[in-house]
Amino acid sequence: MSILVFLPGNILGKYSSEIRPAFFLTIPYVLVPFWAGVRVFNQAQPPTCCTPNMVQEEQRKGLLQRPADLALVIYLILAGFFTLFRGLVVLDCPTDACFVYIYQYEPYLRDPVAYPKVQMLVYMFYALPFYGLAAYALIFPGCSWLPDWALVFAGAIGQAQFSHMGASMHLRTPFTYRVPEDAWACFFVCNMLYALGPHLLAYRCLLRPAFFQRLPPSSQVLHEKQH
């Protein structure tokens, strides 16, 4: 997540004219995480402690019978709208809501260094589709990919929000781009919730993974019941 923002921000921001050959030393930093990610995702899945009966019982429950999942779905929908809204803000959407937000709540999004703008676009192009897919996986059972990807996005969004919130209030950020004092509470609550939500989703996936397990063939389930 950091390199997705750092590289385009350097090229597009106000420091683009100061790029030196050392900039290309970041290439290994881009390639190594991809290599590590491919290796991790290609590993065999460890055996699960959930029996087929446990999986079937968990997957029979509707969304209303799983209040924690219902709360997470509502959160993902709201986070998706917030992601889309901030993406439109940095794209200079002319609506009054976007104008008020960028000047009164997060003026850092106007900073010419371009890092905040790139960060919001990365959220819109990557986090927004994930929020939609994660909400789908919490409603419909058997999406075995969600626990792994929830961990990936929890780490990525946690890192991104730490950098974004810190830069928005840092003393070296020009005063006109810092969060106004009367907007600190709103800014802090919204951004902290945006950072904590994916971690709660990852924790839920690790705590009760049965809902996301793929059921074995019916003949195998019947054989296990007989024994």
Task: Give the pLDDT means over successive 10-residue stretches in the chain (227 positions).
Answer: 83 79 80 84 73 81 90 96 95 91 91 90 94 95 90 93 91 88 91 95 91 68 46
pLDDT attached to residue 216: 65
Asked if residue 206 belongs to a domain, the reply is: yes
Asked if residue 4 belongs to a domain, the reply is: no
Asked if residue 180 belongs to a domain, the reply is: yes
- CA 62 to chain centroid, in Å, comes to 25
Q: State how many domains the chain has.
A: 1
Asked if residue 142 belongs to a domain, the reply is: yes
Are 80 and 131 contacting, i.e. CB atoms less than 8 angstroms apart?
yes
Global pTM value: 0.85
Q: What is the rounded distance in angstroms from the CA atom of residue 133 to the CA atom of residue 150?
A: 11
Asked if residue 161 belongs to a domain, the reply is: yes
pLDDT attached to residue 136: 96
Asked if residue 21 belongs to a domain, the reply is: no
- What is the end-to-end Cα distance of the chain in Å, rounded? 48
123: containing domain: 62-215
Asked if residue 56 belongs to a domain, the reply is: no
Asked if residue 188 belongs to a domain, the reply is: yes
